[in-house]
Amino acid sequence: MLLRFDHVNCIYDPDASEPVHALTDVSLSVGGGEFVGLIGHTGSGKSTLVQHMNGLLRPTSGTVFADDTDIWSDRYDRKALRARVGLVFQYPEHQLFETDVLADVCFGPRNLGRSREDAERDAKEALSMVGIEEALFSQSPFDLSGGQKRRVAIAGVLAMHPEILILDEPTAGLDPRRREEILSLISELHETQHISIVLVSHSMEDVARYADRILVMDNGKVLYDDPPAAVFARHRELAAIGLRAPEAALLLSELSEAGLSGFDTYAVSAEDTAKEILQAMHSPQGVAADREGAV
């Protein structure tokens, strides 16, 4: 499915002394099997934007279309939309409430009217997708470790079989290893289940490795909507809005300023970066930078 925003504005508390203009004229589309990264510093409007994607918030003005239907038109079934557009909130483990893990994951499918057996089947499937063993199914969700809780919470949304999965800062508050695990889990879901992903983060590094496209937000506006390499090429503009391009992209751009030319792309992984540098150094254009060979 495809979600399309058409000139969407969002103002919180329009009557307050200082109304917050959280989204300003946002037009974009997500879905269609893509892996989209949504980046911006804290308060730039990322969470507000994603809550418009499944109809939790209503635009102050503008329209949100799901497959060309206005999701705020009369009689539009937003509950069904929320099943198709799964949204995993920040710190999703704070929403766990059931007595055991399986029952908690069943909450979503049961709300959609599925039978107990169907819901349990969906829940078990989702739990195995996120790597929770059967032995934990009957435990209290509150006895799990932080990383496990978060996986269970993600499973709670996955069990509804969303076509688009939105994750709001899914790695917040996790140690580096758990971070890696969650990120590779998301990328696996994208590849094996063909779910479109919207990954919200304030860290370029997280998003850079997996996203086909990056949306950069600042102060309620979408500044860039481009492939990663094109976004990283603007690392100065990014720095100005408080974002840091990935180290590798910064290294390449500094080398090219120092005179080493001939890079094709802004690579993200360490290996690709090394390859790019070697290739550039051995190409005839790169001669001027021979002295920097030691870098």
Partner 1 sequence: MAMLKDITLGQYYPADSVIHRLDPRVKVVVTLGFIVSLFVISTIPGYLLAALFLWLWIRLSRVPLRFMLRGMKSVFFLLFMTVVFNLFLTPGETLISWGKLVITKEGVRIASLMAIRLVFLILGSSVMTFTTTPTRLTDALESLMRPLTRLHVPVHEIAMMMSIALRFIPILMEETDKIMKAQMARGADFESGNIIKRAKNLIPLLVPLFISAFRRANDLAMAMEARCYHGSEGRTRMKPLVYARRDRAAYLLLLLYLVLSVVIGRDLLHLSSLFFPGGGV
Ligand X SMILES: Nc1ncnc2c1ncn2[C@@H]1O[C@H](COP(=O)(O)OP(=O)(O)O)[C@@H](O)[C@H]1O
Q: How far is the CB of 50 from Mg ion (least distance, A)?
A: 8
Which tokens hold the place of 87?
């949204």
With CB cut-offs between 5 and 8 Å by kind, which of partner 1, ligand X, Mg ion, none does residue 253 bind?
Answer: none
Q: How far is the CB of 247 from Mg ion (least distance, A)?
A: 24
Q: How far is the CB of 164 from partner 1 (least distance, A)?
A: 12
Nearest to ligand X of 13, 74 (CB atom): 13
With CB cut-offs between 5 and 8 Å by kind, which of ligand X, partner 1, Mg ion, none does residue 83 bind?
Answer: partner 1
Nearest to partner 1 of 82, 213 (CB atom): 82
Nearest to partner 1 of 52, 235 (CB atom): 52
Q: How far is the CB of 43 from partner 1 (least distance, A)?
A: 14
Nearest to partner 1 of 76, 247 (CB atom): 76
Residues that bind ligand X (CB under 6 A): 12-13, 20, 22, 40, 42-48
Nearest to ligand X of 16, 135 (CB atom): 16
Residues that bind partner 1 (CB under 8 A): 13, 15, 17-18, 51, 54, 56, 79, 82-83, 86-89, 92, 94-97, 107-108, 111-112, 142, 156-157, 160
For every residue of the chain, which 3-state class applies, written as one string? Answer: CEEEEEEEEEEECCCCCCCEEEEEEEEEEEECCCEEEEECCCCCCHHHHHHHHCCCCCCCEEEEEECCEECCCCCCCHHHHHHHEEEECCCHHHHCCCCCHHHHHHHHHHHCCCCHHHHHHHHHHHHHHCCCCHHHCCCCHHHCCHHHHHHHHHHHHHCCCCCEEEEECCCCCCCHHHHHHHHHHHHHHHHHHCCEEEEEECCHHHHHCCCCEEEEEECCEEEEEECHHHHHCCHHHHHHCCCCCCHHHHHHHHHHHCCCCCCCCCCCCHHHHHHHHHHHHHCHHHHHHHHHHHC
Measured on CA atoms in the order 241, 242, 243, 247, is the torsion positive or negative?
A: positive
Nearest to partner 1 of 18, 264 (CB atom): 18
With CB cut-offs between 5 and 8 Å by kind, which of partner 1, ligand X, Mg ion, none does residue 44 bind?
Answer: ligand X
x/- contact string, 19-48, with Mg ion (CB under 5 A)? ----------------------------x-
Residues that contact Mg ion, how many (by CB under 5 A): 1
Query: What is the contact surface with Mg ion in residues (CB under 5 A)?
Result: 47
